[in-house]
Structure 1
C-alpha cells in the first residue's frame, strides 16, 4: 500500500477523552473513530489488524475440528423467554419490536440461537459430537462504556458451541478449545493466564476458565501460585460466594488474600495481578439443551439432552489488550502475526529521484515475495513520517534517505534500538527472515 492513498487520519495530540494507553494510541494512529458512546468505526488499519486476528482464530479452531457458520444478530425474544434468560440478562439486552409488534433482541451472545438450530437439525447420536463457531458483532447496552474497545456496546466476538452425547465427550471438546485458545493467544503475542472463573449470566453445570491478558488497567484481580499453578479470578470468586457455587467454595481461601501470603495448597507465595478478560470457556451441560428441547436418540434408543460447551473470545477487545501490553512512549509495538503491515518503508524525500527509485524497487520486490508493505511516499517532512511510523508500530522500518546514493537503506526493528545500514538485497533478506 502506498501511504499517499491510505485513509489513515492520525492525531498529533492525545485525545482528551482517552482513558487508557490502548484507547489513546488507537485514536492517534487512525485505527478507530467513535460514533457514539461504546460504538466505534474501524478504519482501514484497524480492520486489517482485526482480520489478522480472525485469521489466527479461524486457523486454530478449524484445526481443532470446529466448523464456522454465521447466525443472525436479530433474535426472537421468545427464544430468550424459553431459555429463562429474558429477564435474567437485564437492561444490557437491547430489545425492540418490528412493524408487527413482534419482540426481538440484538444478540449479546448466541446460546439460544445455536441450541435451537442444532435441536432442529440433529436427532441421533450418530451426528454427534459437533462444534460450531462464528465471528460476529454482538450488542450489549453497557451502563458505562469505557476504555475504548475494552468495554463497548457493539463489539466483535468469536463464539463457539460444542454438542456431545456424554460427559467424557464434553470434557474432550472443552479441553480441545482450551488448548486452541492457548495457541491463539500465544500467536497473538499476548502475556496471559488461564484462571478458574465463575459462569455469570451464561450459567452452566461444569467447569469454567477465563483467559486473562495481564495489564494494570484490567478490571479483574487474579490470584495465582507460581509453584502449584493454581490461579483464580478473585472478584468473581468473592461475588459468587453468597450463591454457594462450587467455584466460589473452591476459591474462598483467597477472599482476603494480600500480596506475599502463602498458598494453602502448596505453601508457596501467592501473587496478585490485574487482568483483562479476553476469552472464556464454559461447560454448560444441559442448561440450554434441556430447556430448548435439544435432545438426541442414544445408541440404546433413549432420548437424552445434549451436553453443551460454550467458548468465547472478545476479538475487538484483543486489539486493545495487545496494544495495552505492547507499546512505548512513541507508539504501538505490533507482533508480526497481527501487524497491519510487516514492513514500513519511509521515503525521506519524494523529490529525490534516487531515493524514489530505490524505495520503489524495494517496495515492489517485497510485495512480489508476499510481504505486506506500506510505502510512505507522501510529500511530507521526514520528521513527521518517522514519528508516524513509530506511532503505527509496524515490526520493521526501512528508511530510504541520503544513503540511497550509495544503494543503501536504514533497517530497524520497531522494538530494537539498533539501526543497520545495508544494501537492497540484504534488506530484502532481513525482511524475509524478520531478523
Structure 2
C-alpha cells in the first residue's frame, strides 16, 4: 500500500557523479495526472528514465541508410521559415529536415549552432552535459541576425559563418543528423533552402552526441524493442546520487582498509521531498468528492460526525467516543460545528480522513455508523466493539 512510485534513471545535474535515480509518484492510466516530470517506461523490459536522461538509440536500418547521395541544390522558398511550411511546400516529411538552433552562454560570446532532425526536440539537460556548461539559452532572433546576418528561419549547417570574429562558433549535432541522407535545411540566405545535404560530405561538426528528447517512435534504449515506450507524468519525491570519489578526492577524505592501506571514500547522498509527498499523495489519491488519505500519512485516522451536536444525547456519545479514541492513541477529529448534516458530510469527504464515524439519533444509545472513505463501505457498529472495528478497518485499508 501507500504511495505508488517508480524508480527511474535521472540526470545528476550540478551535484555530479555518474549515477542517480529519482523516485517518482505516478498514476497509471490517468492522463490528467499532474506531474512536473515526464517519464519514459518500456512495457517490454521495464526500462524507466526521466526524459531528461533517457538515451536515444537507432535501429540498424536507420544507421545503415543505403540511400544514394544526390547533388547539393538550392531551392527558392519565398516567405517560408518553419519546418512545417517548407515540409508542406516541398512535399517532404519532417524527418528529412535539419533544424538549426542557436544557443549562447550568458556572456553571449560562446555561440553553439545546434543541429537536430526536423521532427525531434533538443534536450537542454543533455546539451548542457555535452558542452560541460551550467547554463545556456536560446539566442533571440535579434541576436541571431546580429551574429549571422540572416534570420534564424534560414540558417543551415552548410557554409554557416559569423559576421564578426568576436563570436566563437561551435557546431553540435544530435546523432540523428548522421542517419539522414539528402537532407533539407536553410541556405543561410533569405528565402532559400538547400536540398540533398549530406553529413561529412557537405558539413562537419565539432561534437556529435545524443542531445534530443526520446519519442514514442524510438526503440527502447535497453532491450531495443519497437513500439514499447510509454510516457507518463510523475512527481519527484526522492533522489539518490552515487557521487563516487568526486568530493572525497577533492577533500582528501580517506580511510584505512583492512590491509592498512589508505583508500578514498566512495560517497552517495539523497534528498527526500517531505512537503511534496503530501501534494503527491493527494494528486494520486482523490476522487470528485475530495481527498482520500492513506492511513499512514493521514492528518487524522478517524473523523467523528455528530448529526446534531446540540442534541445532549448525541453530544454526550460523540464526546465519549472522542475521549475513548484519544486514550487509545488514535488520532481523531471531532466535528463539533453547529452546521447542517449535509455540509458536514460534504466536508468529511473533502478532507478525506480514512474512517468516518456518524452518530445519529436513530442508532443511539449503543450503535453508530462506520464509513470507509477509500471504499465507501458502511457498517453499523456497537460502540463497545468500536476499538476492534477501527483497528480491523485500518489493517484492511493498508492493503490498498
Please tell me the TM-score bracket, short chain as reference. 0.5 to 0.7
Out of 367, 372, 375, the residue aligned to residue 408 of structure 1 is 367
2:76 is the alignment partner of 1:263: no
Cross-structure match for 2:311:
352
- The runs of 5 or more residues in structure 2 that have no matched partner are 28-32, 55-122, 132-173, 176-208
2:28 is the alignment partner of 1:211: no
2:39 is the alignment partner of 1:226: no
Q: Secondary structure at the match of 1:211?
A: strand
Q: Secondary structure at the match of 2:246?
A: coil
Q: For 2:387 and 2:331, how far apart are their aligned partners in 1?
A: 13
Count residues in correspondence: 243
Q: For 1:282 and 1:256, how far apart are their aligned partners in 2?
A: 23
TM superposition shift of 1:198? 1.1
Q: Kindly tell me: are residues 358 and 298 of structure 1, through their superposed partners in 2, closer, same or farther at Cα, counting changes over 3 Å?
A: same
Q: Kindly tell me: are residues 402 and 256 of structure 1, through their superposed partners in 2, closer, same or farther at Cα, counting changes over 3 Å?
A: same
Q: For 1:227 and 1:256, how far apart are their aligned partners in 2?
A: 17
Q: Secondary structure at the match of 2:364?
A: helix
Q: Secondary structure at the match of 1:340?
A: coil
TM superposition shift of 1:252? 5.1
Q: For 2:264 and 2:352, how far apart are their aligned partners in 1?
A: 50
2:369 is the alignment partner of 1:369: no
Out of 304, 320, 333, the residue aligned to residue 279 of structure 2 is 320
Q: Deviations over 1:258-292 (max 9, x none)?
A: 27x65351526221111111111111011111222
Q: TM-score when scaled to structure 2?
A: 0.55
Cross-structure match for 1:241:
126
Cross-structure match for 1:390:
349
Out of 287, 293, 296, the residue aligned to residue 334 of structure 1 is 293
Q: Secondary structure at the match of 2:344?
A: helix
TM superposition shift of 1:219? 1.8
Q: Deviations over 1:283-330 (max 9, x none)?
A: 101111122232223444443321101111111111111111111222
Asked if the contact 2:11/2:52 (under 8 Å) is kept, the reply is: no
Cross-structure match for 1:193:
6
Asked if the contact 1:371/1:432 (under 8 Å) is kept, the reply is: no
Structure richer in helix, relative to its length: 1
Q: Deviations over 1:93-128 (max 9, x none)?
A: xxxxxxxxxxxxxxxxxxxxxxxxxxxxxxxxxxxx
Q: Kindly tell me: are residues 221 and 283 of structure 1, through their superposed partners in 2, closer, same or farther at Cα, counting changes over 3 Å?
A: same
Structure 2 matches for 1:411-422, cutoff 5 A?
Answer: 411-422=370-381
The ranges of structure 1 where at least 4 consecutive aligned residues each deviate by more than 6 angstroms after the TM superposition are: none
Larger-gyration structure (1/2): 2
Q: For 1:196 and 1:368, how far apart are their aligned partners in 2?
A: 46
Cross-structure match for 2:59:
none
Q: For 1:373 and 1:277, how far apart are their aligned partners in 2?
A: 30
Q: For 1:273 and 1:362, how far apart are their aligned partners in 2?
A: 45
- The runs of 5 or more residues in structure 1 that have no matched partner are 1-185
Q: Secondary structure at the match of 2:6?
A: strand
Cross-structure match for 1:295:
254
Q: For 2:274 and 2:364, how far apart are their aligned partners in 1?
A: 45
Q: Kindly tell me: are residues 307 and 326 of structure 1, through their superposed partners in 2, closer, same or farther at Cα, counting changes over 3 Å?
A: same
Out of 320, 339, 342, the residue aligned to residue 380 of structure 1 is 339
Range that drifts further, 275-284 or 380-389: 380-389
Q: For 2:356 and 2:281, how far apart are their aligned partners in 1?
A: 20
Asked if the contact 2:7/2:21 (under 8 Å) is kept, the reply is: yes
Q: For 1:231 and 1:330, how far apart are their aligned partners in 2?
A: 33
